[in-house]
Amino acid sequence: MKNNFSQHIRVNKLDFNSIYKNIEDINSEFRKQIFESMEVLAESMPSLVELKEALESFTDNVAKINSIFIRYDYPPIDYIDIHEVMNYIEMNSNQQQITKENINLIMTRYFDEIHFNHLESQVATYNLPQEEITILKEILDGYKHGYYYLIIPALLARLEGLIFNSVNYKGRTSYYLFNIVIEETINKYKSNHDYYVDDDYDKIKEYYKYKLKSNFEFGDGNMNGINRNSIMHGYDNKYGTKQNAVMLLLHFEYLYHCLTKLSENEKKDICNKMQNKK
């Protein structure tokens, strides 16, 4: 997909009706087009042009929705049930402008009512040491009890461990090495999932490499979003929100799947690059 669809999206001017229509296109219009195309194919065996057009329409809409979620610091929508999210967007489609607050409201409701149970069952099957699974289960249990101030630092620590352990790295760690794993892993994931806008993959890498762990100064009154450094160094004392917990759990899930799709040879290649940069 060569076109940069994000150039055609005016996210700040979209209302919930338009985002709902985009998602509705993914879930119903695309199925309708595929069904109609397959009927034509079955009856007359024409060229595959109609089917190709339907697929391109699907790709366009997925790219648009993905761009919106990434814009508001959520991970790509690969492991989010868009059909279910559509229902929550429809509930809020009364001409409201898309804002971070409204997106957070939609995603926390979706997470609590739909995604949490799925994630809880999936974590038990993760290809991780049993000790890690136990920690993740306790994090999820803490989420159920609203212990956001406790689970967010724990998730940040587990996320860093996941990054290094997944490529079998041994040795001293640094943010520079962390960034190598992020860059290589998402690039390899993208090579097998090339149906999103290139800019969006760049934005998600920037989020993990820089925004999530950006520098801060004590006394800084402009703390926004999740900042690993300001939390772990004891400055930020307002991070413990449901929205931040949901966002970080979804990011952990996304990165877990990206990392576990690496082959053993790919892990070795990444680890060698890390060793060469030490």
Burial class (CB within 10 angstroms; exposed 0-12, middle 13-18, buried 19+) of 79: middle
- Percent of the chain predicted with pLDDT > 70: 74
Q: What's the pLDDT at 269? A: 95
In this predicted structure, the answer to whether residue 247 has a pLDDT above a threshold of 60 is yes
DSSP secondary structure, 134-181, as one string? HHHHHHHHHHHTT-HHHHHHHHHHHHHHHHHHTTT--S---HHHHHHH
Residue 254 scores a pLDDT above 90: yes
Q: What is the pLDDT of residue 176?
A: 93
Which residues 6+ apart lie within 8 Å of 125 measured at CB?
none
Amino acid at 137: K
Name which residue leads in pLDDT, 17 or 175.
Answer: 175
How many whole angstroms separate alpha carbon 252 and alpha carbon 29? 31
Tokens coding 105: 């409201």
Confidence of residue 2 (pLDDT cuts 50, 70, 90): very low
CA 244 to each of CA 18, 37, 109, 134: distance values in angstroms, whole numbers, following the listed order:
26, 43, 13, 22
Of 10 and 72, more confident? 72
Diameter of the chain by CA atoms?
71
Identify which has the larger pLDDT, 159 or 59.
159
Q: Whole-angstrom Cα distance, residue 33 to residue 17?
A: 21
Which pLDDT band holds residue 52 (cuts at 50, 70, 90)?
A: low
Top pLDDT among 7 and 212 is at 212
CA 76 to chain centre: 4
So what's the pLDDT on residue 55?
47
pLDDT value, residue 7: 37
pLDDT of residue 113: 94
Decide if pLDDT at 260 tops 50: yes
What span, in angstroms and rounded, lies between the C-alpha atoms of 103 and 52?
A: 32
Asked whether residue 228 carries a pLDDT value surpassing 50, the answer given is yes
CA distances from 160 to 228, 234, 235 (A): 10, 18, 20
Residue 47 has pLDDT above 60, yes or no: no
